[in-house]
Amino acid sequence: MGFFDPLYFLFIAPAFLLGLWAQMRIRATYGEAQRLAAPLSGAAAARHILNSAGLQHVDVEQVPGHLSDHYDPRQKVLRLSPEVYQSRSLAAVGIAAHEAGHAIQDARAYAPLVIRNAVVPAAGFGSNVGMLLVILGAILQMNAVLIWLGIGLFSAVVFFQIVNLPVEFNASSRAKAQLVEMGIVGREELVYVEKVLNAAALTYVAATLQAILTLLNLIIRFTGGSRD
């Protein structure tokens, strides 16, 4: 039995198509919201939200890259891409507020975030080594021990993706609430911020679906193959 199976691509097709659609939605909604003015830059909006939450110690830095925005829980730094850091647009303040939401989650010990951060090393290890063991087990004439060890390690990736969903959705909810409460975005303008954040959330849903379908494909395939 060869390892490469064209049926795998049919198996994960729903996740792949959802991911493509999500990327198209991000480009469209981001482009629309980027053309609409906001009273503050992304950096200023993030700073105001962090300060209001008592997180003056969390720095806001500009980093290179397109939409490379993220919060680093280890160094307590919120890093924004140039177009988000500098721009005074609804897209910029929405994304910056989302990342500030992660900083607030970290400060409040939001349980799903704590779990996600704890699982990151296992997920990274499982993503690389897990699939390698599955491939190696298949090459070595269906070595069941290696295959199931690899599948077990890859399960950490699925767990990470599942836990990551409430983290991302909650950060977006915090962002929208803070933007309105602080008067950075009006309720009429919030719809454009919501479009951007909802499109971004779809990419996480697609990644989670792909991980789950990949795991199911491995289990179904090698459970059947072990009986050949």
Catalytic residue among 99, 168, 188, 194: 99
Strands 70-72 and 77-80, bridge-based pairing: antiparallel
Displacement of CA 146 from its chain's centroid (Å)? 29
Angle 189-184-102 from CA coordinates, rounded to 5°: 100
Q: What is the DSSP string of 211-222?
A: HHHHHHHHHHHH
Q: Residue 199 contacts by C-beta under 8 Å, 6 or more apart in sequence?
A: 22, 25, 26, 28, 29, 30
99 is catalytic: yes
| Residues known to be catalytic | 99
